[in-house]
Structure formats: C-alpha cells, structure tokens
Amino acid sequence: DVCLTIDGFSVTVPEGTTILKAARQVGVKIPTLCYLEGINEVGACRICVVEVEGREELVTSCNTPVEEGMVVRTNTPAVREARRMTLELILANHPMECPTCPRNGNCELQNLAQQLNIRTVRIPALPRKELPLDTSTVAIIRDPNKCIVCRRCESVCHNIQTVGAIALQGKGFAATVAPVGGRYLDETNCVQCGQCALVCPVGAIYERDDTDKVWAALADPTKHVVVQTAPAVHVTIGEMFGLPVGTDATGKIVAALRRLGFDAVFDTNFAADLTIMEEGTELLERIEKGGVLPQFTSCSPGWIKFIEHFYPELLPHVSTCKSPQQMFGAIVKTYYAQLKGINPANIVSVSIMPCTAKKFEAARPEMNASGYRDVDVVLTSRELGRMIKEAGIDFANLPDENYDDPFGIGTGAGQIFGATGGVMEAALRTAYELATGKTLPKLDFVEVRGMKGIKEASVELNGKTIKVLVAHGLGNARLLMEKLKAGELKDYHFIEVMTCPGGCIGGGGQPIPTTTEIREKRIAGIYERDKNLPYRKSHENPAIKKLYEEFLGKPLSHKSHELLHTHYTP
C-alpha cells in the first residue's frame, strides 16, 4: 500500500492507484472530461490537473499513480485557473448551440462549465470552418464541429470493439476524431453499434432521430401503427425519468405508448421466445445431422455486421434465424394482418430498441420476406424518452398497463435476452426440455450470467455434453473467432455473441450515462423481472404455441423459413 496526503488528509491506497481515485476516498471529486474509467485514462484534456509538492508542473490526476509520501493539492488558485483556462479554450472552439443540441441537458461539457462556475469565456471565439455532418449511415450522425477530441469514441471503437472505424485526424484546433482518410462512416468497417455515441461527452456523435416518422404515422388515420418493446428497454428507460437504475418500467412503457397513440402495443419478448423455438431447433438439428458447429447466435446486428466485415469465412456458423425484432415484424405484416383483416400496406411497424444498429438491421434490403418491410421505423430508448417528454406524459407516475393480445405474452426467457448470456440461458432452458422430454431441475444457468468478458457452461443432453460459450463486446467476440480459426473450439456447440458490453442493456441507444456500474444494476433488473414472470421458458409461452398451431406449423417449417430466417452473403 501507498500512503499520501491529499488536501491535508492522509490516505492509504493500493500501489498503482491513480491520484483521481485516491482523492475520491477523501471525498474529493476531481473534475474530469476525457476520462472514462477502464476505457480512456490518458490525461488528454488536462481538466483533472492537480498540484504535487516538488513538481514544477501540474499533473493529470486520472493517469498519474500515487507515490509514497506524495503531497497533493486539488483545489489551489493555480489548479482552478489551469482548469478554467483549459475549459475556456475548449469552449472558444465549440459551437454554442446548446438549446438545439441533442445532448442539451445531458452534456458533460455543459455540466463542467457549471461545475467550474464559468460565466464568461475570456478567449475570443476561434475562427472555425463549418464542417459537414456525416449522415452516411442510417444509425449514427457525426458532427465533427462539436468534437472536443477527448478520444473516448476512438478508445471504445478500437480497444473494446476492435473495429477501429474512427481515429484522430488533423492537428491542433482543427483536430477531430473521424474515419481515416476523410471517408464517411458507411465507407468504413463501422458496425453502427453506437458505443461511440454512448461515451461521447458532447453532441459530436449521436443516434439518427427518427421520431418525426413515428409522429407522422401516429397522426395518419389510414395507418395502423404497431409497436414492440425490446427486453433491455424495460429496465432502462425509467432512468430518463428519474426512476432508480434497474427499475422494471414495463407497465409504464405500455401505458406511455398507448397514450402516444399506438394502435397495438406488443412485447419483443414474445419474438425472443419465437427465436428460441427456431434457433434451439436449428441447434438440435445441426447437432443431430452433423451441421456446421459451433452455431453462433444471430440476434445482435452489430455482431452480424462485424462477422461480415472481419470473418466472412465463418458465416456458415451463424444461425439463419432473423433477430426477434425482425421476426416480430414479419409476423405482424402476415399473421397479425390476416387476423385483424388489415392490409399490411397500411401497417406501420415500429420497434423500441436499446440499439442503434437495429436501425441498420431493419433497413437491410433482405428484411422484407412478407413483401413489406418487417420493421418500418426503429427508435432507440433515448428517442422514445424524448417523445414521451415532448408529449408531456408524466412517465414516473403512469399506472402499469398490460400489453395487447395476441403478442403480449413474453416469458422470462425472452426477458433475459437483454443481458449478456441471456440468449444462451433461454436456449438451454428450452433445448434441454425439448431434447430430453424432462423438466429442468434448475432453471438458472448462473455460469453464463454477469460481466465477465467470456463465459462458459455445459449441459448434459441425452448422454451428450453440450458445451457453450458467451461473449459480449466485439473485442471478446474477436478472441473467440481467432480461437475458432485456430481449431481450438472444435468441441463447442453454441456461442452467444452480443455486440455491446453487458449485452443489450448496454446498447448504443440506451440512456446516457451507461457505465459498468449502471450496466450491472440493469442486469440485476433483467433477472429480477425473469424471476417474477408467470412463464420462464419460451416453449411454455401460450401465445407461441398458438402461433405455431394457427400459422407456422412447427419450428423450421417452410413458412418459418420463409418469414423468420435469413441468409448471409460473404
């Protein structure tokens, strides 16, 4: 351990601790801007500077380790002036468009200016060239004018996702983080996961806003507007309305969507159950018939784009199942349209997703097997939150309401799709019971839960050991792909990959901030809801049974293949 003094208080911390973290132990929260724990600890912005006795220059506390006997001062005139000057320089080079910026009210630069009590910027505004926005993708908008070069987005894209679509470009006041060589995002390997948008402290990278399309559909009396809500949204959207992190707000989401004017409010959990029926059966068939193994999950669209870019030769491993979002859309435009006697051309299918890449997935040209787009508009959690606010709905005080029939029943297995390991656990619950005809003695596969990057489990099926792996965050997926290519995963049968750290609860469209601690609380909320639902296994969902009886026949039927499965072209 190392003993030091911070602002006159003695503190003892383990060797290697940074001054920033040590200061928190004595109740001092040193301001930061570029710092992001575990992702970006580079001291680039110099907001976190402090004085260290014996050193001539101020030091950045976020990346300077403590030393024995160190005497640190965090709040001296020199420190305050240095922080202010740094911030004023950033502000002099930043567009002052706060009222119309997508991050207004939730901007770290704005908050910091308040925290440092900045009332005037003493430096004249720097002459800036107005740079064009990058609107090349359907999911993410880049506004280079607002970039403060903190490089968090670059760190997350390179180090966590190993995609490397953006990097530091240019120098000095003209510097920005952007695709290499002046390209647009859609000309790179960007998988549109939106993790960059989640960590951007300002409004330099954000989700494309599609709320106007939904308002227009809701106002059009000729349209029947159907909405589905993703598992991970249930436990996160409350954060935008002051509810504690991890609160299950499913009933309030339903109530809010009804008040916004949707004609039918459905649960994506239902389609997650449908996915398990199809994907579990596909797995059992691959095992029996000697198909390509291990099978990979296919519900996370950033992961699909990742494997298409980086490992196209491994595409035969990917399940042919569409994601729950897309399966839902296909069923709405066929079975549901028939059931209600509505022309599918007049149905607008909206989904509320924790994910920016879902916008990309819905726009893929092949996602229209019914003759109509499976899903017409995808809104992220953040966009729905804004619609609810715009409509003046008092979300936190809404009553809990139930989903509509016939797709209002989702099981706990569908619910846990929203957390890393959840798809695997849901699949095991069903595959075990379908393959053995026995009831599972214990439903919870805790080995595949939690924030560990790569997890492993096995289950006995009729005398055969089925081995599974779970990865979340594309860097972890890459590790598994390299092992597979090296022939090290030959005995494995099924691999779940979720693009975002923590799974969909940590998706790029989720409320900001999304930190590791917040992810953990959201995950706890997911498993809590699973525990409390009346059905916890996909194959026991009565609405799913009915759909097979009345429409699809059985898993992997001709109709299922046509509507619920897809193909990948390297």
Alpha helices in 364-498 (DSSP H): 381-390, 412-415, 422-436, 474-485
Q: How far is the CB of 231 from ligand HC1 (least distance, A)?
A: 4
CB-side exposure of 102: number of CA atoms within 13 Å? 24
Q: Which is nearer to ligand HC1, 179 or 354 (CB)?
A: 354
The CA distance from 189 to 164, in Å, is 8
CB-side exposure of 213: number of CA atoms within 13 Å? 13
For helices 108-115 and 77-92, give the axis angle rounded to 10 degrees. 140
Q: How far is the CB of 448 from ligand HC1 (least distance, A)?
A: 14
Q: How far is the CB of 391 from ligand HC1 (least distance, A)?
A: 23
CB of 309 closer than 8 Å to CB of 189: yes
CB of 82 closer than 8 Å to CB of 49: yes
Q: Which of 154, 207, 239, 282 is catalytic?
A: 282
Q: Which is nearer to ligand HC1, 188 or 268 (CB)?
A: 268
504 labelled catalytic: yes
CB of 110 closer than 8 Å to CB of 120: no
540 labelled catalytic: no
Q: Which is nearer to ligand HC1, 188 or 510 (CB)?
A: 510
Q: How far is the CB of 83 from ligand HC1 (least distance, A)?
A: 39
Q: Looking at this protein, which amino acid is placed at residue 522?
A: R
The CA distance from 257 to 360, in Å, is 23
Q: Which is nearer to ligand HC1, 110 or 268 (CB)?
A: 268
Q: Which is nearer to ligand HC1, 49 or 552 (CB)?
A: 552
279 labelled catalytic: yes
366 labelled catalytic: yes
455 labelled catalytic: no
Nearest residue by C-beta to ligand HC1? 504
Q: Which of 366, 390, 456, 488 is catalytic?
A: 366
Interface residues with ligand HC1 (CB under 6 A)? 230-232, 268, 272, 299-300, 323-325, 353-355, 358, 417-418, 503-504, 507
The CA distance from 438 to 431, in Å, is 11
CB of 64 closer than 8 Å to CB of 74: no
Q: Which is nearer to ligand HC1, 176 or 351 (CB)?
A: 351
For the chain, report the end-to-end CA distance as a whole number of angstroms: 53
Q: What's the full length of the chain, in residues?
A: 570
Q: Which of 504, 537, 538, 560 is catalytic?
A: 504
What's phi and psi for 36, nearest 5 deg?
A: -145, 115
Taking residue 542's Cβ as centre, other Cβ atoms within 10 Å add up to 12
The CA distance from 562 to 301, in Å, is 20
Q: How far is the CB of 222 from ligand HC1 (least distance, A)?
A: 28
Q: How far is the CB of 207 from ligand HC1 (least distance, A)?
A: 13
Q: How far is the CB of 388 from ligand HC1 (least distance, A)?
A: 18
Q: Looking at this protein, which amino acid is placed at residue 349?
A: S
Q: Which is nearer to ligand HC1, 154 or 383 (CB)?
A: 383
Q: Which of 146, 305, 333, 358 is catalytic?
A: 358
361 labelled catalytic: yes
Q: How far is CA 185 from the centre of its chain?
A: 19
Catalytic positions, please?
A: 279, 282, 299, 319, 358, 361, 366, 504
